Amino acid sequence: MSEIFENSALSVADLEAIRLLNKAVPGFGALVSTRTELGDLPFGEWLNAHLPTRSEKENFGGGSGTYGTVAQATSNSTGVTINKTNGVISMFAAVAAISSEEFTVTNSEVSATSLIWLTVEGTTAAQVAPSVSVHTLSSGSFKICVTNHDGTNATSTALKIHFKIENP
């Protein structure tokens, strides 16, 4: 990919973002082959203008029915079942300061070799961002660990965890 950008005015950070997006969305880098395609827009603005809309996200990965939502019923450690390739898991409550919560996601779309992408929604700019990770991946389920790194404050709300499952 470096040959394509050899003469472009894209920053190293822009190129890294494109490289990571191309891993998540094969062929994405081909959309941004030269600075000319960006026009005068900073890369972040161009990217926001070209990312899928909500309705496109719901169908991302193929056809209708691939997007779903689910909420934990009784606590932050309560497992959830969602048989979709992407969607949102709403946690039950805020995560306490300097603590971790772990729960199981049961999902028929998951195999032992699946790639699972996670992002977190629901913190304020003043807070230290929580982290999310996947472990104990097996056919039909995986575990998510959510860690609040803030030494003083619980998260401002119950977090929402966005996920995408890719099966190589």
- The predicted-structure confidence for 71-109, as pLDDT tens digits, reads as follows 999 999 999 999 999 999 999 999 999 999 999 999 999
Domain spans in the chain, listed from the N-terminal domain onward: 2-51, 62-166
pLDDT above 50 (res 122): yes
Amino acid identity of residue 80, one-letter, is V
The whole-number average pLDDT for the span 9-13 is 57
| 62-166, CATH topology level | Jelly Rolls (2.60.120)
